[in-house]
Amino acid sequence: MDKLWAHLIEVQPAPDPWVVVVSALVAFAIVSFGMSWQLSRGLITIAHEGGHALMALATRRKLEGIRLHSDTSGVTLTRGRPNGPGMVLTALAGYLAPSLLGLAAAWLTEQGRITLLMWTVLLFLVCMLLLIRNLYGALILLATGGAVFALSMYAPDNVQQVVAMVAVWFLLFGGVRPIIELQRKRRRRQARDSDADQLARLTFLPGGFYVFFFLLVAGASVVGGAYLMNPL
């Protein structure tokens, strides 16, 4: 156990400035272009639904399961009071989760704790796998977890560092785009059961307020993550 813990908290040297910049540009390109975004958006959905699940457990709601779909949508099923703080916090957590996870990952990356970051992600994916309730969801989690495990076990440290930084930037940038897409759908009245509209029904605040709040947190996370990983 001592050896395992020492391996987990091992500190890697700081990356070269160009690695930080290039990884940010790569992640921004992935999020910006339609085809690459559609192929990778499911990773943001994993974080989104994981956020709902974590908050449901934290507020002591009964978590019945998670479903991830091939169209990159997902749903987290909980049981408990249909209103109240627990339900509000659970609905609030989804769109905030990718950005806040990205910010936490940026802090670990800045500290050089790449191995700890990857094993934390693995633990997160294993816990979600225990809660998944459809075959596609199980397959996407297994594929993602297998890729992270192979990276942590077999890739050189410099490769791990580059991939981790791209993933962190992807979470930060990828936390913003779904919120913008959500507001576009709301304007067209195509998302009447979105998290923001559910929150509007649970509270006295309009759905637009929650979209603005999601965007504010996501934007602050990008700024905070950029500050943490600033090579200068």
Predicted pLDDT at 138 = 95
The pTM score is 0.93
Lowest mean pLDDT segment, chosen from 14-18, 24-28, 71-75, 150-154: 14-18
Mean pLDDT to the nearest integer, 77-104: 93
Q: Is the pLDDT of residue 139 over 80?
A: yes
Per-residue pLDDT for 1 more than 90?
no
Q: pLDDT tens digit string along 187-218?
A: 888 877 899 999 999 998 999 999 999 999 99
Q: In the predicted model, is pLDDT for residue 7 greater than 80?
A: no
- Going through the chain in order, the beta strands assigned E by DSSP cover 62-68, 74-79
- pLDDT, tens digit, 9 for 90 and up, residues 104-131: 999 999 998 998 999 999 999 999 999 9
Q: What average pLDDT does the structure give for the chain?
A: 92
Asked if residue 231 has pLDDT above 90, the reply is: no
Q: What is the dihedral of CA 73, 135, 33, 184, to 10 degrees?
A: -10
Residue labelled with tokens 């297994």: 142
The residue behind tokens 């009964």 is 62
pLDDT at 171: 97
Residue 12 has pLDDT above 90, yes or no: no
Cα–Cα distance between 226 and 169 in angstroms, integer? 9
Question: Given pLDDT bands bounded at 50, 70 and 90, which one contains residue 6?
Answer: confident
